[in-house]
Structure 1
Amino acid sequence: MTGSLLIGVLVGAATALVLVWVALVVVMIAARPRGGLLREAVRLLPDVLRLLSRLAADKTLPRGVRVRLALLMVYLAMPIDLIPDFIPVLGYADDAIIATVVLRGVVRHAGIAAVRAHWPGSDDGFAAVVRLTGLRDTER
């Protein structure tokens, strides 16, 4: 009886993990930047990584923002991707999509002025980040 219970628990846990992963893939498909913005997000990834580290080190930002940024950087440093590379489009762009989603939340909480102050790239790159986050740069 205990052996069948253990198997049932393991099957249930595996099923739950698969369902959570499928839900995550669906969320990433829905949250991905549309049109050419995904290509821009991948191109901007080095500047965005520098931006994230600068924002995470900024003690004037709320702790929750810095925690999100630290968790994102840990995820980006992991050698295992959440979405395998064999899945078309999302497989190679999952890091850019996740960074974009987190950056949207960071910009909404920290403000666009903080992002502008820490942006390491060009003005065109910053304009692309503004488009990716769905916000308007009213502080130019």
Structure 2
Amino acid sequence: MIKKIKEWAKNLKRQIFVLYFACKDKRVPLAAKIFTACVVAYAFSPIDLIPDFIPILGYLDDIIIVPLGIMIALKMIPKDVISDCEVKAEEMMKIGKPKNWIVGSIIVLLWVVIVIWAFMKIYELYI
């Protein structure tokens, strides 16, 4: 059973890399690029909708949201692009996930803005 889970996780990681490369491909429609970029950013982001320290619920986003997003994104991308990106993803699996500090900073900034906005809305409700 553990071997199957590890294999599932490895396949999930490979699919994220496929989507990462698909985001950069000019043959992918704009709507698919935007959705795919969101899925990849969420998968690479250290911040989750439900924090992992919350028992059971914390891992639901990793088990449900990310695979569901991957499945939808893969359906939006042309098959020939996916084939090309799978080759690149296999190479990337050997190296590791890319580090892009600018994009990482933008993601953190986005989460900070969302949290501040949420606190402001909650504050308005209680005043």
TM-score, length basis structure 2: 0.52
- Compared CA separation, residues 48 and 64, structure 1 to 2 (3 A): same
> Residue in 2 aligned with 1:27?
none
Shift of 1:67: 0.3
Secondary structure of 1:60's partner?
coil
Contact 1:82–1:94 (Cα < 8 Å) also in 2: yes
Equivalent positions of 1:60-79 (< 5 A) are 60-79=27-46
> Residue in 2 aligned with 1:121?
90
Of 69, 78, 92, which aligns to 1:111? 78
Of 55, 71, 92, which aligns to 1:87? 55
- Compared CA separation, residues 107 and 78, structure 1 to 2 (3 A): closer
Contact 1:41–1:100 (Cα < 8 Å) also in 2: no
- Compared CA separation, residues 48 and 63, structure 1 to 2 (3 A): same
Secondary structure of 1:82's partner?
coil
| Deviation beyond 6 Å, 4+ runs, structure 1 | none
Q: Percent of counterpart pairs with the same letter?
A: 26
Larger RCO (alpha carbons 8 Å, 6+ apart) = 2
- Compared CA separation, residues 69 and 92, structure 1 to 2 (3 A): same
- Compared CA separation, residues 96 and 116, structure 1 to 2 (3 A): farther
CA displacement, residues 27-68 of structure 1 (integer Å, 9 cap, x when unaligned): xxxxxxxx99x8344232332222111010011111011101
Shift of 1:100: 1.8
RMSD of Structure 2 on Structure 1 (CA) = 3.0
Distance 2:29 2:8 in 1: 25
- Compared CA separation, residues 76 and 109, structure 1 to 2 (3 A): closer
- Compared CA separation, residues 41 and 93, structure 1 to 2 (3 A): farther
Q: What is the total number of aligned residue pairs between the two structures?
A: 86
Distance 2:63 2:26 in 1: 25
Equivalent positions of 1:8-19 (< 5 A) are none
Q: 5+ residue gaps in structure 2?
A: 92-127
Structure with the higher helix share, 1 or 2? 2
